Amino acid sequence: MQQLTVAQIGSQLAQWRAEGRRPVLLDVREPWECETASIREPDLDLRAIPMQQIPERLSELPADEPVLVLCHHGMRSLQVALFLDRQGYPHVFNIMGGIDAWSHLIDPSVPRY
């Protein structure tokens, strides 16, 4: 499991694109949070699965693509990223600062809450 800042995501996406990979953005926030603010990035395969449902929905996540885990500030996503790492997912990345950092540093059109 690795940590990524929102500032690092752009260069990492460019590298994956060059390799022909399409990473999954796993949003582990609650549905109301996803409705409030979401990331729209065409190079990412967005999957919204609340944190509590991850163990029962592991089959929805590819083991052969990078999985970037996102929450509001980075704490829930860190827990999920560590869990996925323990389950044998080899390419897991926690997005430090979460969607709040994304809104603040990358795309201010994403609402902050």
Show me where the domains of the chain are located.
2-105
71 is catalytic: yes
Contacts 24+ apart (CB under 8 A), 42-47: 43/13, 43/16, 43/17, 44/13, 44/68
pLDDT at residue 40 tops 90: no
CA dihedral (14, 101, 26, 55) positive or negative: positive
Residue from 13, 28, 71, 99 carrying the catalytic annotation: 71
Q: Which residues contact 50 (CB under 8 A, 6 or more apart)?
A: 28, 29, 30, 31
CATH of segment(s) 2-105 = 3.40.250.10
- 52 confidence band (pLDDT: 50, 70, 90): very high
The label of the residue with tokens 């389950």 reads: 87
Please count the residues of the chain.
Answer: 113
Which pLDDT does position 111 carry in this prediction?
96
